[in-house]
């Protein structure tokens, strides 16, 4: 009985260091030819969004105003004209003045700007796009930080890809999504291993979302420079020494 107790520390080390295969997979319930219908509602313009707005036209005034230079504090060139939506959901635009864009899609915003411009300029075409959207990815990922993108929406898996993917300590079944709405901040726990995530409100991220990957409990002791690591190393060394002594005595 006493001899058997020698191996208890070693067994504890092995069990606390093991991580099951399923915990390391992104999807545990995917079958061949699985498919889900995903509704992707278009993103609407909100305060503090940054917009690319480009005006094309044959009118000489349009070329002079929107071709290059700086107008009303907004820098413009042939490739990029950016505007930040203020806290009231408006932008200041040449010729038009202030225009309300909050709640509109980029297609609707382009048509509204074009309609307003038609009072001053002939034969114009307006393109509006989101630029410099950002999300933050923290926790057990290879590269924590704030990441920008120009699409109206990206998936949570694309965001994790920007961050280099999960580390070996990352818990795919315990990811926190922090999302700020105009009136509150919500926290939601997500299981990345469940294929049904594509049908949830968290599959597509919104600008300003924060994704936090929690660590696996099974490997929490493995972090360096912690008391737990030192304790674990001590147990491991002690178990190895006791095992060696037992083997030597047995051979004698």
126 shares a domain with 64: yes
Tell me which residue of 168, 184, 172 sits closest to 211, measured CA to CA: 172
Higher pLDDT, 66 or 74: 66
Predicted confidence band of residue 225 (pLDDT cuts 50, 70, 90): very low
pTM: 0.59
Distance between CA atoms of 232 and 251, rounded to whole angstroms? 29
Model confidence pLDDT, tens digit, residues 144-173: 999 998 877 899 999 999 999 999 889 999
For the chain, how many structural domains are there in total? 3
122 shares a domain with 136: no
Does 13 score more than 70 pLDDT? Answer: no
Last residue of one domain, picked from the residues 94, 111, 130: 130
Between β-strands 204-205 and 185-190, what pairing exists: parallel, antiparallel or unpaired?
Answer: unpaired
Q: Is 117 exposed, middle or buried (0-12, 13-18, 19+ CB in 10 A)?
A: buried
Predicted confidence band of residue 63 (pLDDT cuts 50, 70, 90): low
Predicted confidence band of residue 203 (pLDDT cuts 50, 70, 90): very high
| Structural domain for 159, as ranges | 132-215
144 shares a domain with 189: yes
Model confidence pLDDT, tens digit, residues 28-55: 555 554 555 556 677 888 888 888 888 8
| Residue 188: CATH number of its domain | 3.10.560.10
Does 207 score more than 80 pLDDT? Answer: yes
86 shares a domain with 149: no
Model confidence pLDDT, tens digit, residues 69-125: 444 444 444 334 688 999 899 999 888 889 999 999 999 999 999 999 888 887 888
């Amino acid at each position: 009985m006493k001899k058997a107790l020698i191996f208890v520390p070693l067994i504890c080390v092995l069990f606390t260091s093991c991580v099951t295969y399923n915990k390391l997979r992104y999807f545990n319930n995917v079958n061949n030819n699985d498919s889900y219908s995903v509704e992707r509602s278009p993103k609407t313009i909100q305060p503090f969004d940054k917009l690319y707005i480009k005006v094309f036209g044959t009118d000489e005034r349009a070329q002079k105003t929107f071709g290059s230079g700086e107008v009303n504090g907004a820098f413009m060139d042939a490739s990029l004209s950016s505007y930040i939506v203020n806290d009231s959901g408006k932008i200041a635009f040449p010729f038009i003045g202030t225009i309300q864009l909050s709640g509109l899609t980029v297609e609707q915003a382009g048509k509204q700007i074009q309609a307003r411009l038609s009072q001053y300029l002939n034969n114009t075409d307006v393109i509006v796009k989101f630029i410099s959207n950002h999300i933050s990815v923290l926790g057990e990922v290879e590269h924590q930080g704030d990441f920008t993108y120009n699409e109206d929406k990206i998936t949570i898996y694309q965001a994790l890809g920007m961050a280099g993917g999960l580390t070996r300590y990352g818990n795919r079944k315990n990811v926190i999504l922090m999302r700020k709405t105009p009136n509150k901040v919500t926290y939601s726990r997500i299981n990345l291993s469940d294929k049904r995530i594509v049908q949830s409100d968290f599959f597509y991220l919104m600008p300003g979302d924060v994704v936090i990957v929690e660590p696996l409990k099974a490997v929490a002791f493995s972090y360096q420079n912690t008391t737990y690591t030192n304790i674990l190393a001590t147990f491991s060394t002690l178990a190895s020494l006791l095992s060696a002594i037992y083997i030597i005595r047995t051979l004698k």
